[in-house]
Structure 1
């Protein structure tokens, strides 16, 4: 018997992504004055496309689309080589990094709130609705 729904797994993957993005942004900010440092970024869109292609859905009719399930949660981190912001060869834009940091924090907090809601629902069921 499966105790937790697929939602927990999806929320866990979202937290993994947000955590990795936080580390990459912090690394970029820490190296804002490092000569020839190239900023890094986390790619999620390719993972999203891969996940969408690999979904498994319940089909009620043979003409419905068939999906496949995939549980991989690797995100790719790449270096931005196409931009140059500073005279010393550094490509970190501190304003963009701080903006990304704030957006990532909001995303992380939303995921944590949703996860707390799911656990509170389970707690409510275990207590018998009391």
Structure 2
């Protein structure tokens, strides 16, 4: 029996990996605010969860054709250079700090969910006590 190989653990792992990559890119953007010709980086990791869902062959019941079909979304985490960004120190530090806060909230939510899964396993192991 594979306790940690369930689809939930894989999805949470991918979410945490994506949040980690985003944290790194945001911190690089903040560190290089005053660097001439620095190109800001963005991480698109929402598709990482789709990859994890596809790998685990999650079956989703679509009740409407407009709903997302999990079996067709096949994208991965992408770190992109945002070439349209010209840094203005006052504006961009606020933007980057806001993105950092959003990412921290996302990361904490993933950790809370992972802790919940481990608590459930612990309860089962203890026999419901």
In structure 1, what is the Cα distance between the partners aligned to 2:25 and 2:117? Answer: 29
Partner of 1:9: 10
Aligned pairs for 1:1-130 within 5 A: 1-4=1-4, 5-45=6-46, 47=47, 51=51, 54=54, 56-58=57-59, 67=71, 74-86=76-88, 93-130=92-129
Q: Is the 8 A contact 2:40 2:85 kept in 1?
A: no
In structure 1, what is the Cα distance between the partners aligned to 2:123 and 2:113? Answer: 15
State TM-score, norm by structure 2. 0.76
CA RMSD in angstroms comes to: 3.2
State TM-score, norm by structure 1. 0.75
After superposition, the Cα gap between the structure-2 partners of 1:43 and 1:25, relative to the gap in structure 1 and judged at 3 Å, is same
SS of the residue corresponding to residue 93 of structure 1 reads: helix
In structure 2, what is the Cα distance between the partners aligned to 1:66 and 1:102? Answer: 29
> Which has more helix, going by share of residues?
2
The aligned length equals 119
In structure 2, what is the Cα distance between the partners aligned to 1:94 and 1:117? Answer: 34
4+ residue segments displaced more than 6 Å: none
After superposition, the Cα gap between the structure-2 partners of 1:115 and 1:79, relative to the gap in structure 1 and judged at 3 Å, is same
* Structure 2 unmatched runs, 5+: 62-68
Q: Is the 8 A contact 1:42 1:77 kept in 2?
A: yes
- Pair member with larger Rg: 1
